[in-house]
Chains A and B, each alone.
Chain A
Amino acid sequence: MIRVESIYKSFQLAKAVAKKTGQRTQNAVEGVSFHCARGEVLALLGSNGAGKTTTLRLLSTALSVDSGEIWMDEVPVHRFPRRARHNIGFLSQSTPLYRRLTVYENLMFFGQLYRLEARALVQRIETLADQLTFRTYLHQKVDSLSTGMQQKASIARSILHDPDLLVLDEPTSGLDVAAAQQILDFVLQQRSQGKAIVFSTHHMHEVELLADRLCVIDQGRTRFTGTVQAAKQHTQQEHLSQAFLALIAETIR
């Protein structure tokens, strides 16, 4: 479904920083590679600043790669991002919804941007509202909703156009246990429907619950790709969190 091959991305440094460090750019992603098939969940792991969010933003086409390739089936996303957008659902960390519009108005707006037919769109919104249990506040302004409610609405927004690839950046960040569990259940449900899902998280129990495979990146480079079990075996650790720390420590060594 999605194939990421040795992608690189660097950002220009602010003039003051560049003067201090003597470098004009900073590499955020340096040769990350992984793949994720339909009906598979890939967890992208790494400490803060490792390059997870940049990698996910490259996948979503918000940013373009400096070099390397991203393929979605037979579509070269790195060359034709607009062609791929119809088939990608991206949830960033900031729960991006228009706060003065209602949840319904937000979903209608984004659905229309994806040129969904009006009746089908309304039906889709109602289905997602039931699945993610936010029908009761569908007509409330986003401003008046709790973080959990906003996150559910954001997930609905990202999956409204029924994309084959879901890219989720820390989808349960800041949520209470119940709200987080509802979102994890929803991700599992999407996997069972054959979607390819790439998500980032700092919670290892989520990885064990959801991920078929994981990709550990550190300092912008891929350190490990494989199953959870393989990560444990590779590091000879019983728990995933310990395995993760061991993989990061290998880099430091």
Chain B
Amino acid sequence: MMGLVFRKEFTELMRDRKHLLVTVLLPILITPLLMVAVAAMQVQAESVQAERVFRYSLLEEAPLSGLRAALQANTGLKDAGSMATDTAVSAVTNDRLDMAIRVFLEQKQWVVELTYKDTDQVALKRQRIETLVTQLNAAQVSEQLAELGIQSERVEAFLQPVRFSTSNVATQQESLGQLLGNFLPFLIILWLLSSATAISSDLVAGEKERGTLETLLISPVPLLAMVMGKWLAITLSSWLAGALTLLSLWCSAWLLVATLGSDAVVELMAGLSLFSLVAGLVILLPTAGLVAAAFLASSTWAQSFKEAQTYASGLMILFFIPLFANLSGTVDLTWLTALIPVLNASLVFAELLKGSLMIGFLLPMVLADAVVILVILAVAVALYRSERVLVRQ
């Protein structure tokens, strides 16, 4: 009976174009396209910024030897002529000038004051002038120390007697795994959630509105079989959405590797091995089951399709909390976090991509998810047993 209900539900879902769009087409096409587009836009933005020439105005209240020459020698900078400080600052504020540089002496120290307007995080304008000033500073220090008889090779040791040195032993796979592990589970589970939301509302609340649920409930099919059949259909469909997202990303990544062909990139992609893919697909299953159970119960509680979608939106936000926790990169996989649904899957995923997953964590993860699934399904069965499922208040 359970198989019969599942087959019917799954056949119906596979014939629903909207469902196919959310579960199949968007994960396969949109996700990698979105990633490539964002990456391409980022690269282009950086390239455009790097090639930009900034117009500056230099006002030397106290001449600093070498500064004007260094500014003029830089191809990324163009002199707009000297102007009064107020005029220059006003011009920068009104976007008629990129930078105003004022040089003055304060307690026998030159101050290079830069006024600029930058809203992006790269702060390219500041970087360019800071580099120039740093180089100028180093040259001045060497010159002054040489006058005191300190040889140029000892300048660094003189200025910084204690140097801090580090050596990071994390492999590139681990570093990339951390980065991908924070981001990929979010993207994959997001599609899984989207699919479950759409399906569950239709499969339960939608059936209530169309009257088919009543027909099903007065048939001799046992309630448990009916609930399990519906749960399996939602689980499989939402898992499919997550799995296709993962598969699509995996294929796109390896396509990039094949196109670029560099050894460094190949090493970086080691975290995306075939084993990782298969393991990732398996790890998604308990999460899909849990999400399906939660959405099934909420849709059963809802008295209309619209109400079911409202509850589903609330549940989505609830599921976002563990996803954001992993996205922040501040939570580690421990015996405790392995017991927290959704968070456990995203953390296990991250460890898998880093190549440092301890298989032992899978057991508490699966057990915790299974317990939560059973509790939610028991609630769903109880709801079906009550007349609330058929009667609006």
Name A residues whose Cβ lies closer than 8 Å to a Cβ of B.
11-15, 57, 60-64, 82, 85-86, 88, 90, 92-101, 105, 109-110, 112-115, 141, 157
Contacts and interface: CB of A to CB of B under 8 A. Distances in A.
B367 interface: no
Interface stretch (B8-16, B186-194, B251-259, B269-277): B8-16
A100 B219 contact: no
A12 B16 CA distance: 35
B221 A113 contact: yes
Nearest to A157: B215
A105 B9 CA distance: 12
B220 A85 contact: yes
Contact of B8 (A13, A88, A101, A141): A101
B387 interface: yes
A157 B216 CA distance: 11
Given A92-B214, A99-B210, A113-B220, 19 more contacts: A11-B393, A15-B393, A57-B214, A57-B390, A62-B214, A62-B390, A90-B215, A92-B211, A93-B211, A96-B210, A96-B214, A96-B215, A98-B8, A100-B12, A100-B15, A101-B8, A105-B8, A109-B4, A114-B220
Nearest to B393: A14
Contacts of B325: none
Interface of B: 1, 4, 8, 11-12, 15-16, 210-212, 214-221, 387, 390-391, 393
B11 A101 contact: yes
B62 to A, nearest CB: 77
A137 B374 CA distance: 42
A207 to B, nearest CB: 25
B210 A113 contact: no
Contacts of A115: 220
A144 B214 CA distance: 22
Given A11-B391, A63-B387, A90 B221 contact: no
B18 to A, nearest CB: 11
Nearest to B391: A11
B10 to A, nearest CB: 11
- Counting chain B CB atoms within 10 Å of each CB, the highest count among A85, A92, A100, A113 belongs to A113
Which are the 4 A-B pairs with shortest beta-carbon distances? A94-B211, A96-B211, A14-B393, A100-B15
A110 B219 contact: yes
Contacts of A12: 393
Contacts of A88: 218
B242 to A, nearest CB: 23
Contacts of A112: 4
